[in-house]
Amino acid sequence: EVQLVQSGAEVKKPGESLKISCKGSGYSFTSYWIGWVRQMPGKGLEWMGIIYPGDSDTRYSPSFQGQVTISADKSISTAYLQWSSLKASDTAMYYCARLDDFWSGFIYWGQGTLVTVSS
Amino acid sequence: EIVLTQSPGTLSLSPGERATLSCRASQSVSSSYLAWYQQKPGQAPRLLIYGASSRATGIPDRFSGSGSGTDFTLTISRLEPEDFAVYYCQQYGSSQFTFGPGTKVDIK
């Protein structure tokens, strides 16, 4: 069974750094793209970027380029989303999702990680 | 960047009625790269349709997708109580994904 299990909720202060994770299981982690999607409170879905764990090829949405870093450690089948300096506007639910092919849509989703940034 | 617009913003219908949701792109989208998702409160999105018209595994046949170019449609033939949710379209092109703003289908 394919599963994406995300790390738990985080509460941080503005200016702090953060790295959240998404662990894949039940499939060959290096063979499928993993994407990250933001959902701000009460708002819609925003695509942030994707990574191919097999070779770490990474692509970002222009809206998030330079604001976050996406990485992966294929030895432990885990993808990451990190911030070097959080802002209150980063408060959101963050989902990871597996992309089988660019035409297939995001089939498998993690449960989401809620990040709250507040002073 | 391709911008997706969804209409209406909210659709108020009764169980058993037909729902027609629209997704319009700012420029032509390959039909192969147009998908639809359903999201219920407190849950992750669920893929319904990919390639504009192919149902994802396990999706009931009351859900259907159609369209090409810049205009796409998600149709729910007869609304079941569990179908009241928010629906998003999503496209891929030029190494970028974008989501539409969503259509909320609520109970009239």
Q: Does B93 touch chain A (CB under 8 A)?
A: no
Judged against a pLDDT cut of 90, whether residue A2 lies above it is answered with: yes
**Residue B94 confidence (pLDDT):** 83
Q: What angle do CA A38, A13, A34 make, to 5 degrees?
A: 25
- Of the candidates B44, B50, B56, the beta carbon closest to that of A103 is on B50
Q: Does B14 touch chain A (CB under 8 A)?
A: no
Virtual torsion, Cα A47, B56, B83, B87, nearest 10 deg: 20
Among B97, B98, B99, B103, which would you mutate to test the A interface (most chain A Cβ atoms within 10 Å of its Cβ)? B97
Q: Which residues of B touch A107 (CB under 8 A)?
A: 47, 56-57
Q: Does A103 touch chain B (CB under 8 A)?
A: yes
The residue ranking higher by pLDDT, A111 or B1, is A111
- Of the candidates B51, B57, B102, the beta carbon closest to that of A103 is on B51
Q: What are phi and psi of A38, to 5 degrees?
A: -100, 145
Q: Residue B1's pLDDT band (boundaries 50, 70, 90)?
A: confident
Q: What is the pLDDT of residues B69-90, one digit of tens each?
A: 999 999 999 999 999 999 999 9
Contact (Cβ atoms closer than 8 angstroms) between residue B63 and residue B76: yes
The pair of structure tokens assigned to B45 is 């999105």
Q: What is the pLDDT of residues A63-116, one digit of tens each?
A: 999 999 999 999 999 999 999 999 999 999 999 999 988 888 999 999 999 999
Among A36, A45, A52, which would you mutate to test the B interface (most chain B Cβ atoms within 10 Å of its Cβ)? A45
Q: What is the pLDDT of residues A13-46, one digit of tens each?
A: 999 999 999 999 999 999 999 999 999 999 999 9
To the nearest whole Å, the CA of B100 is away from the closest chain A CA by: 8
**Residue B30 confidence (pLDDT):** 87
**Residue B101 confidence (pLDDT):** 98
**Residue B25 confidence (pLDDT):** 96
**Residue B95 confidence (pLDDT):** 86
**Residue B26 confidence (pLDDT):** 95
- Spatial separation of the C-alpha atoms in residues B29 and A101, rounded to whole Å: 16
To the nearest whole Å, the CA of B47 is away from the closest chain A CA by: 6
User: Hey, are the CB atoms on A102 and B92 less than 8 Å from each other?
Assistant: yes
